[in-house]
Copies of this chain bind each other. A is one copy, B any other.
Amino acid sequence: MEYNLEDTIALLARTPAVLSSLLRDLPEAWTHRNEGEKTWCPFDIVGHLIHGERTDWMARANRILESGETRPFDPFDRLGQQRESQGKTLPQLLDEFARLRTENLAALRTLNLKPADFARRGKHPALGVVTMSELLATWAAHDLTHLHQISRVMAHQYRETVGPWSAYLGVMHCNGHSS
């Protein structure tokens, strides 16, 4: 199936509002509890998404256009959100994510990518050769992986509270493939 950039953008444009609707002013019992040692709470995850907006997605799209496979992407610092979120409140992080996402989608539109550009190749430091459309689709799927994670982390807080119903609740049986 042919890659459709507008479908990707439609999803990317919605994520800040989705997270704001879900998390803004929600009690900290939901937003600041994780799944145990060395796991992330929703607050941490928003910081991670901010770090991606700042250092990952558009930087890599530009690298593909500028250097192709000759210069690999800079590795992504998966712990970079600690710097992003230090001393900030969750509403501040949600606002910052929304602002950065809006700026990045404007920058993406400015690139004015054509179907031929979607096949342009870049080099991922671990995965090897990847294409522009794979990068852009991953940007959207990365939002979904963290929405999936947030819903799982929040459900975890009710693991005991739901009693015998946990047997019926799929999210309670997800073994945390997004960390």
Contact = CB atoms under 8 A, between A and B. Distances in A.
Interface of A: 3-4, 6-7, 10-11, 14, 17-18, 20-22, 26-27, 29-30, 124, 127-128, 130-131, 133-135, 137-138, 140-142, 144-145, 147-149, 151-152, 154-155, 158, 161-165, 167-174, 176-179
Contact of A138 (B137, B148, B169): B169
Given A137-B162, A171-B178, A17 B21 contact: yes
Contacts of A169: 138, 141-142, 145, 178
A98 to B, nearest CB: 12
Given A27-B7, A27-B10, A140-B158, A149 B170 contact: yes
Contact of A165 (B30, B134, B168, B177): B134
Contact of A127 (B141, B165, B173): B165
A14 B21 contact: yes
User: How many of these chains are in the complex?
Assistant: 2
A168 B99 CA distance: 26
A174 B172 contact: no
Say whether chain A's binding surface is mostly helix, strand, loop, or mixed: helix
Contacts of A14: 21-22, 26
Contact of A147 (B3, B11, B147, B158): B147
Contacts of A135: 165
A120 to B, nearest CB: 13
A1 to B, nearest CB: 8
